[in-house]
Amino acid sequence: MVIGGIANLFWGIPRATLDIDITIQVKGKICASLIQKLRDKFRLRVKNPLDFIAKTSVLPVEDPNGIQIDIIFARLPYEFQAIRRSKRIQVNGHTIQVCSPEDLIIHKIVSDRIQDQQDVRGIVRSFGPKLNRKYLDPIVRNLAKTLAKPELFTFYLNCFKVKGALVAEDLDLVEKTYQEEKRFAKPVTSDWVKKAHKRQ
């Protein structure tokens, strides 16, 4: 599943990006044979790939054209959920899986980088009412609570403002939606947040 700047080309306001971020789900244990298969196609950018993956859940590689790719190994419930929700998109006759616009917002909103905040605004601007707020609101609200950053949820709500009015739910309805939907959403845990910040 493609995430990061490349996914933003599909869902947000296109901008230049220098690398590719891909999340994959591996059945069973990550073993030397899998690393060898990757080594056959890519240059590994770390000396001890198994140790590096164990510590970071990421394997940095480089393709024959010099493009840097971060392969992120999904291990947490939210990551598996995001993969299931990803969209199949045709690009030059090839099918690729791209994270949904909602999950791209979740991936980016935990970042303090100005560029990621601009990307979130761009996705909302592009999709607005088409975004699944019943899915998004509880997760972003939970993120703000987990990080003890209430301003994160305020920023999220402000992204939906048009001339001072929210596009969809007002604050009361957001709270009601949060209470109704939070039991269904896979939690974006502090472990996932730490993992996301390691990649920045």
Residue where the block lists tokens 């190994």:
73
Q: What is the pLDDT of residues 103-128, one digit of tens each?
A: 999 999 988 889 999 999 999 999 98
Q: What is the DSSP letter of 61?
A: E
pLDDT higher for 81 or 189?
Answer: 81
Task: Say if residues 90 and 43 touch (Cβ distance below 8 Å).
Answer: no
The DSSP bridge pattern shows strands 19-24 and 68-73 to be parallel
Q: How confident is the model at residue 175 (pLDDT cuts 50, 70, 90)?
A: low
Prediction pTM value: 0.78
| DSSP class per residue in 95-138 | EEEE--HHHHHHHHHT---HHHHHHHHHHHHHHGGGS-HHHHHH
Report the pLDDT averaged over residues 5-29: 88
Q: What is the pLDDT of residues 22-34, one digit of tens each?
A: 999 988 777 788 8
